[in-house]
Structure 1
Amino acid sequence: MTRCSDFIKTEFPLIDDDLKQYVEDVLENGAEDFEDSEEIYEAVGEVLHEISGDKSEDEIRCICDKLLNMLKPNKEVVTNANGLTKVLNAPIHLGSMAANLESNVDDIKSIWVTQRDDSLKVDAKKLEKAQAKLQEKQEKRSKDHTKAPTPAKLESATASQVTSKKESKMEAKGNNRTQDIRIENFDIAYGDRVLLRGADITLAFGRRYGLVGRNGLGKTTLLRMISCGQLRIPSHISVLHVEQEVIGDDTIAIDSVLQCDTEREELLRKEKELSAAINSGTADAELSNELTEVYTQLQNIEADKAPAKASIILNGLGFNKVMQSQPTRTFSGGWRMRLALARALFSRPDLLLLDEPTNMLDIKAIIWLENYLQNWPTTLLVVSHDRNFLDTVPTDILYLHSQRIEPYRGNYEQFIKTKTEKHKNQQREYEAQQQHRAHVQEFIDRFRYNANRASSVQSKIKMLEKLPELKAIEKEVDVVLRFPDTEPLSPPILQLNEVSFWYRADTVIFSNVNLGANLESRICIVGDNGAGKTTLLKIIMGLLNPTSGIRIRHTHRNLKFGYFSQHHVDQLDMNVNSVELLQQSYPGKPIEEYRRQLGSFGVSGDLALQTVGSLSGGQKSRVAFARMCMGTPNFLVLDEPTNHLDIETIEALGKAINKYNGGVILVSHDERLIRMVIEALGKAINKYNGGVILVSHDERLIRMVCKELWVCGGGSVKSIEGGFDEYRRIVEQELEAANK
């Protein structure tokens, strides 16, 4: 085996130790069983091809021949019937050989076997052994195919940055007390893909920053790099990143929030211990003084007001008095994420990092959070795609694009105006410089060989060399989503008559609901979390049966629902790429059709070949849309579809819904999306013949899509006049009444 090992290393100098050991183990274990080089090629040929790079199949097979000779150096060579072996390594003239047949009989016999060679007869025992071995290989392959696929190894993010010697010395001595955060000249990569290169970010204390940019550019990764310490900031600055939900245990909700104030908790613990010691009869003046000091500290931090503050935050995020007293283990994952947000708001770190905080909230909680964060006292960095949230909360916008971060003063609306004007000026400057360059170059080309103009030509050339190199503005590609065209169906499509539903007799979700929808409908369902919006959708689709009442749906066999769940990410296989995901759901189609379907939702090129687990949240949502529409549904049921989508994709979603000629039910809290659909609907109503029901918290989407608003809550579902503006007015009145 030593000879084999050296030979492999010589032929494949770039082979790593693990692969080399694997090949050696296969050869050593099968040395006795290998009958010919073909079996060696079957065993290790594929591996050798992968590590060789440029070697042909014939070269690999030749290497396998040599390996067989090393493993079995004494293997007999089968000769022909005459005991002679003739190698034809040069052209021969058969006519001349035939003319001299008598003199060169041996030569001719060495080419053609003139009598049957018994050694070429089939050996029954060897044939049986070969068949058994082949059967064993086939069984092994079938077992390998039935095994669960090995989870794909997801790439991880890495960061590097350059820090000045001055700041490093101040940090080492503990003299750096600034509250501002400067991270300069840093890079972030995700696997082999560079997200940020030579970027800079400055966060001034007390300002609120909105981080925006297209899906997949690295916004969430940047927050994680800051929170985990891979990007260094002054050590005295406390950082809190709301990313993980609160662990469910027996701790009640309000205590879970109060416990994150560690200073208060420690002082209360000391106060309890000292009081117990004094009450036990220990008359020690020192203990009394220490207890007095603890009381003073508790008074300074206003510890007695902490429960009321925690209760206000929890109430604003949707926890009523009963829920605040319930153990955290009784809450779902979404509510435990709200608890994590409540803990962060209560603890008030120096730097608060929020990633899509509105995803888990209903409209009432979003409005409360917008108002609360407008008075946030420390530094806030938030990733959000909610246009109304970004117009209300941030004082500054950080625009991530082209592997760098560009700062803008003002909210999102101001950012759009400033960026548009800035890009226009840059483009005008670039075009003017190009015209100037062309004019000067024309002069140079015209008089280059004119001796009288030589000095002028040289000065023009030097002037061109000194001009700064301006670049044309890179225009971002518009996001376009395309829903499939569907066949028109005659109404009625969906009808609920006197429908009621409850899980338990004492918990009625809604009762006596009378609603209808057809392919011309654009219906948005709004309401508090837990009011029954998703339950209503499942009844409409037939996934749940109403407790009482009648659900009527179109009897035509072509009525197909496309359901986009708010937990769509949980339904995706993270270990395959997007093309393979569609193949699993809709097998038998050409690869080009899967690629075309993904491309219609913005997942194209190499992105479609990445594992789903390595995609950003918004990119996973697009893949889920592509899979949903692959079955050509004619009634879309969209439950919080804007979660994780960037602003441009939300705009594209609203436009796609308005162009869709099927029915749509939308659940959303995204005000912008709702506004978009309403605005566009007035223009498209005469040309449009499809229906939509939307459940959403995205105000923009609701305003885009809907002309009819259903409010789910209070044990009922009702339609309101005045659209979203009227609904928002009602919500704000309820919040004002609750705060009095």
Structure 2
Amino acid sequence: MLRINDLVFDAWGRRFFDHASVSLPPGAKVGLVGRNGAGKSTLFKIILGELTPGDGDISMPRDARIGAVAQEHPATPVSLLDTVLEADERRARLMAELETAEPEHLGEIYHQLAAIDADRAPARAAEILAGLGFSNEDLARPMAEFSGGWRMRVAMAAALFAEPDLLLLDEPTNYLDLEGALWLEARLKKYPHTALIISHDRELLDHSVDAILHLTEGKLEFYTGNFTEFERLRGEKQRLQEATRVKIEAKRAHMQSFVDRFRAKASKARQAQSRMKAIAKLQDIAPSIEEHVAPFLLPSPEKPLPPPLIRLEGAAVGYGGPPILKGMNLRLDLDDRIGLLGVNGAGKSTFARMLADDLKLSAGHIQRDRRMKVAWFHQHQIEAMDPDDTPLMIIRRALPEASEAQRRSKLAQFGLGFEKVETRVESLSGGERARLLLNMIAMDRPHLLILDEPTNHLDIDSRRALTEALNDYEGAVILITHDRSLMELAADRLWLVSDGHVKPFDGDMDDYAKFVLDRARRAARVASQTAAKVAPEAESPPPPAPPRPRPALAPLKRKLEAAEQVLARETAALAEIDQALADPALYVKTPAKVAELNVRRERLAARVATAESAWIALAEEVEAAEG
């Protein structure tokens, strides 16, 4: 399906691919693995034609379609269901032709729609959207009403719906909750074409792929089997390579000893020369080097506190309106390892904020030891880091009394070498930022560690190191993660956040996976029925009919109103930034803020232009329909 031949690519002062070659068979589900920075995302860009290799070539069958997930789908006034349906370009083109086709051509168009099973498309799109966490009510909502994270899911739904011949997915579970990740595992197993997936999610690589493509030292190595099988085969290969290397080096040393002893003797000179030639022909095998992964430092609390750490009695919490969570009667002790389950939006992060004392109860009672130290890691911390900070500056503020040598030593223990300590945050990888923050929040030896999606930027080896650190840590842990492997290995009890309540879940992760997939199947059936009402279906070829009537005016007007709201919101946001930039004091007091505002202004200006174009197009459609 995909053939990479002798690929060479150099960029940013380094070589990413050094005469790499591989062939992917049709229909294979392949996990692309390698250390952070090895070049996995770069390979995707080369396959998509966004980067040009220095040498070699990439080939696919003629007319093969490649699909990838965009960063996020734009905020348009088009409905969610219609947005996903448009991803099937052939169906969208045929449906558009129906609007203007002459009566004698309608039969052929309907025949082509039937050939691609177009009448099932709305139901199929709704099934995918239900699996990714969208409700039936969401199907008719315009894209502009969804947040960036949900629009990222829409982009993934569109790629899965289009079913390209080669599907490229780059860390797909990073945008999903655990429930979405479990659904995606099952979906990828049934994907009808070839898929190449970059992932550090061990469970997905064990349950959804049938081959592993390993990128290391500029080479691509293909292994059949899942990730566990890959690790076994690679370990055997490394042991064999090391044994062969030791054997060759021993032989080399033996012959060199003979040469050194008898090279000067005339009677042995010919034999010495013969051995020197043999030494020169011996194969050089590099020693097998295991890449070091720095451990995570999660020091246990110095003094244990009497139980319970936290007790909730009839507790409710929210943000000023109706409570998000209510009726909570729970207890947390020092040795508890709790995994929080529940779909996005159920209230897991709200519960974490309450435990971290960042959100006060609206009802009920919470008992907590005043001496308790809480460490809370969440994704917003990474996003909120000052791009101009460096790890050294950050740890100076955290350890004002320490010497410079002690601070640098601490950063080295975190896995940030001397070349990284004075690197600006914006130049650090997501994994390096996450590693820095995870280690720093635990420096104060907390009694309770709250981790909200800690693995998003970590590779498989770093995730394994985090699991080991959590198992060695002797405080309480609250864990929110889409990484099923981490949840299974680090949590010993599960709590389910659902329908405004937090209650113990009776079962393990296998039981929860079955519960989630059964629920997804039920939701998909309901979504399919709803989609039939929301989207028009392709019908069987009708007899010749008169020209189609004008489009219904009411739906167009609703879309136009939604587009007006989007345009007004984006224009108002742009005006706020322009007002801030008009303040002369800003350029004197906080020049760094000026640069940030200018970057935001460029993005908003582009979004305003897009929203304006969408509004104009819809206004013209409404005018034509009224005429």
User: How far has the Cα of 1:737 moved from its partner?
Assistant: 4.5
Give the corresponding residue for 2:317: 501
Give the corresponding residue for 1:716: 501
State whether residues 130 and 524 of structure 2, in contact with CA within 8 Å, keep that contact through their aligned partners in structure 1.
Answer: no
Task: Please give the alpha-carbon distance, in whole angstroms, between the structure 1 residues aligned to 2:429 and 2:66.
Answer: 23
- For 1:510-659, what aligned pairs fall within 5 Å after superposition? 510-556=325-371, 559-583=372-396, 587=400, 589-659=402-472
Q: Is 1:465 matched up with 2:280?
A: yes
Q: Is 1:334 matched up with 2:149?
A: yes
Give the corresponding residue for 2:571: none
Give the corresponding residue for 1:271: 98
Task: Please give the alpha-carbon distance, in whole angstroms, between the structure 1 residues aligned to 2:319 and 2:447.
Answer: 30
Task: Please give the alpha-carbon distance, in whole angstroms, between the structure 2 residues aligned to 1:224 and 1:308.
Answer: 32
- For 1:58-207, what aligned pairs fall within 5 Å after superposition? 179-189=1-11, 191-207=12-28
SS at match of 1:206: coil
State whether residues 304 and 447 of structure 2, in contact with CA within 8 Å, keep that contact through their aligned partners in structure 1.
Answer: no
Task: Please give the alpha-carbon distance, in whole angstroms, between the structure 2 residues aligned to 1:236 and 1:585.
Answer: 57
- For 1:287-302, what aligned pairs fall within 5 Å after superposition? 287-302=102-117
Question: Relative to structure 1, is the Cα distance of residues 348 and 432 closer, same or farther in structure 2, using a 3 angstrom cutoff?
Answer: same
Q: Which amino acid aligns with 1:241?
A: A
Task: Please give the alpha-carbon distance, in whole angstroms, between the structure 1 residues aligned to 2:262 and 2:93.
Answer: 85
Task: Please give the alpha-carbon distance, in whole angstroms, between the structure 2 residues aligned to 1:201 and 1:594.
Answer: 45
State whether residues 525 and 693 of structure 1, in contact with CA within 8 Å, keep that contact through their aligned partners in structure 2.
Answer: yes
Task: Please give the alpha-carbon distance, in whole angstroms, between the structure 1 residues aligned to 2:49 and 2:2.
Answer: 18
Question: Which of 481, 490, 514 is residue 729 of structure 1 equivalent to?
Answer: 514
Task: Please give the alpha-carbon distance, in whole angstroms, between the structure 2 residues aligned to 1:531 and 1:733.
Answer: 18
Stretch deviating more after TM superposition (331-340 or 559-568): 559-568
State whether residues 317 and 342 of structure 1, in contact with CA within 8 Å, keep that contact through their aligned partners in structure 2.
Answer: yes
Give the corresponding residue for 1:353: 168
User: How far has the Cα of 1:727 moved from its partner?
Assistant: 2.5
State whether residues 572 and 624 of structure 1, in contact with CA within 8 Å, keep that contact through their aligned partners in structure 2.
Answer: no
Q: Which amino acid aligns with 2:267?
A: N
Question: Relative to structure 1, is the Cα distance of residues 241 and 490 closer, same or farther in structure 2, using a 3 angstrom cutoff?
Answer: same
Give the corresponding residue for 2:71: 244
Give the corresponding residue for 1:695: 480
Question: Relative to structure 1, is the Cα distance of residues 531 and 617 closer, same or farther in structure 2, using a 3 angstrom cutoff?
Answer: same
Give the corresponding residue for 2:126: 311
Superposition RMSD on alpha carbons, in Å? 2.3
Question: Which of 40, 54, 70 is residue 219 of structure 1 equivalent to?
Answer: 40
The number of aligned residues is 518
Larger Rg: 1
Task: Please give the alpha-carbon distance, in whole angstroms, between the structure 1 residues aligned to 2:432 and 2:197.
Answer: 19
Question: Relative to structure 1, is the Cα distance of residues 728 and 238 closer, same or farther in structure 2, using a 3 angstrom cutoff?
Answer: closer
User: How far has the Cα of 1:221 moved from its partner?
Assistant: 3.1
Deviation readout 1:672-711 (Å, 9 max, x if unpaired): xxxxxxxxxxxxxxxxxx2222122222112222222111
Give the corresponding residue for 2:177: 362
Runs of 5+ consecutive residues of structure 1 not aligned to the other structure: 1-178, 275-286, 662-689
Deviation readout 1:49-84 (Å, 9 max, x if unpaired): xxxxxxxxxxxxxxxxxxxxxxxxxxxxxxxxxxxx
State whether residues 128 and 524 of structure 2, in contact with CA within 8 Å, keep that contact through their aligned partners in structure 1.
Answer: no
Question: Relative to structure 1, is the Cα distance of residues 625 and 659 closer, same or farther in structure 2, using a 3 angstrom cutoff?
Answer: same
Deviation readout 1:361-400 (Å, 9 max, x if unpaired): 2232222211111122232111111111001122221112
Question: Which of 51, 74, 84 is residue 257 of structure 1 equivalent to?
Answer: 84
Task: Please give the alpha-carbon distance, in whole angstroms, between the structure 2 residues aligned to 1:515 and 1:245.
Answer: 38
Task: Please give the alpha-carbon distance, in whole angstroms, between the structure 1 residues aligned to 2:381 and 2:166.
Answer: 31
Q: Which amino acid aligns with 1:593?
A: Q
SS at match of 1:697: coil
Stretch deviating more after TM superposition (343-352 or 480-489): 480-489
State whether residues 77 and 144 of structure 2, in contact with CA within 8 Å, keep that contact through their aligned partners in structure 1.
Answer: yes
Stretch deviating more after TM superposition (288-297 or 624-633): 624-633
State whether residues 4 and 20 of structure 2, in contact with CA within 8 Å, keep that contact through their aligned partners in structure 1.
Answer: no
Deviation readout 1:19-61 (Å, 9 max, x if unpaired): xxxxxxxxxxxxxxxxxxxxxxxxxxxxxxxxxxxxxxxxxxx
SS at match of 2:324: strand
Deviation readout 1:131-159 (Å, 9 max, x if unpaired): xxxxxxxxxxxxxxxxxxxxxxxxxxxxx
Stretch deviating more after TM superposition (588-597 or 620-629): 588-597
Deviation readout 1:629-653 (Å, 9 max, x if unpaired): 3455442210011112111111111
Task: Please give the alpha-carbon distance, in whole angstroms, between the structure 2 residues aligned to 1:573 and 1:201.
Answer: 41
Deviation readout 1:546-589 (Å, 9 max, x if unpaired): 22111222112xx3322111333212222333223333555564
Q: Which amino acid aligns with 1:598?
A: L
Question: Relative to structure 1, is the Cα distance of residues 300 and 418 closer, same or farther in structure 2, using a 3 angstrom cutoff?
Answer: same
Task: Please give the alpha-carbon distance, in whole angstroms, between the structure 2 residues aligned to 1:656 and 1:451.
Answer: 65
Question: Relative to structure 1, is the Cα distance of residues 308 and 739 closer, same or farther in structure 2, using a 3 angstrom cutoff?
Answer: closer
SS at match of 1:353: strand
Question: Relative to structure 1, is the Cα distance of residues 737 and 567 closer, same or farther in structure 2, using a 3 angstrom cutoff?
Answer: same
Give the corresponding residue for 2:598: none
Task: Please give the alpha-carbon distance, in whole angstroms, between the structure 1 residues aligned to 2:50 and 2:27.
Answer: 21
State whether residues 356 and 644 of structure 1, in contact with CA within 8 Å, keep that contact through their aligned partners in structure 2.
Answer: no
Deviation readout 1:338-371 (Å, 9 max, x if unpaired): 1110001011223222111112222322222111
Task: Please give the alpha-carbon distance, in whole angstroms, between the structure 2 residues aligned to 1:601 and 1:195.
Answer: 26
Q: Which amino acid aligns with 1:251?
A: V
- For 1:1-16, what aligned pairs fall within 5 Å after superposition? none
- In the superposition, the TM-score normalised over structure 2's length comes to 0.78
State whether residues 257 and 346 of structure 1, in contact with CA within 8 Å, keep that contact through their aligned partners in structure 2.
Answer: yes
Q: Which amino acid aligns with 1:370?
A: E
- For 1:477-492, what aligned pairs fall within 5 Å after superposition? 477-491=292-306, 492=308
Task: Please give the alpha-carbon distance, in whole angstroms, between the structure 1 residues aligned to 2:524 and 2:154.
Answer: 20
User: How far has the Cα of 1:208 moved from its partner?
Assistant: 1.8
SS at match of 1:551: strand
SS at match of 1:600: helix
Q: Which amino acid aligns with 1:718?
A: K
SS at match of 2:314: strand
Deviation readout 1:523-560 (Å, 9 max, x if unpaired): 1111111111000011111211222111222112xx33
Task: Please give the alpha-carbon distance, in whole angstroms, between the structure 2 residues aligned to 1:215 and 1:608.
Answer: 18
Q: Which amino acid aligns with 1:574?
A: P
SS at match of 2:461: helix
State whether residues 534 and 639 of structure 1, in contact with CA within 8 Å, keep that contact through their aligned partners in structure 2.
Answer: yes
Question: Relative to structure 1, is the Cα distance of residues 373 and 631 closer, same or farther in structure 2, using a 3 angstrom cutoff?
Answer: same
Question: Which of 198, 214, 227 is residue 383 of structure 1 equivalent to?
Answer: 198
Question: Relative to structure 1, is the Cα distance of residues 290 and 243 closer, same or farther in structure 2, using a 3 angstrom cutoff?
Answer: closer
State whether residues 296 and 466 of structure 2, in contact with CA within 8 Å, keep that contact through their aligned partners in structure 1.
Answer: yes
Runs of 5+ consecutive residues of structure 2 not aligned to the other structure: 526-627
State whether residues 301 and 445 of structure 2, in contact with CA within 8 Å, keep that contact through their aligned partners in structure 1.
Answer: yes
SS at match of 1:443: helix
Task: Please give the alpha-carbon distance, in whole angstroms, between the structure 2 residues aligned to 1:328 and 1:642.
Answer: 29
Task: Please give the alpha-carbon distance, in whole angstroms, between the structure 2 residues aligned to 1:576 and 1:551.
Answer: 37
Q: Which has the higher contact order (CA 8 A, sep 6+)?
A: 2
Question: Relative to structure 1, is the Cα distance of residues 255 and 710 closer, same or farther in structure 2, using a 3 angstrom cutoff?
Answer: same
Deviation readout 1:469-522 (Å, 9 max, x if unpaired): 1221112224411113432242232121111234576x6533211112232221
- In the superposition, the TM-score normalised over structure 1's length comes to 0.66
State whether residues 573 and 581 of structure 1, in contact with CA within 8 Å, keep that contact through their aligned partners in structure 2.
Answer: no
State whether residues 178 and 481 of structure 2, in contact with CA within 8 Å, keep that contact through their aligned partners in structure 1.
Answer: no
Q: Is 1:475 matched up with 2:302?
A: no
SS at match of 2:267: helix
User: How far has the Cα of 1:207 moved from its partner?
Assistant: 1.6
SS at match of 2:344: coil
SS at match of 1:490: coil
Task: Please give the alpha-carbon distance, in whole angstroms, between the structure 2 residues aligned to 1:405 and 1:580.
Answer: 39
Task: Please give the alpha-carbon distance, in whole angstroms, between the structure 2 residues aligned to 1:584 and 1:703.
Answer: 36
Question: Relative to structure 1, is the Cα distance of residues 634 and 222 closer, same or farther in structure 2, using a 3 angstrom cutoff?
Answer: farther
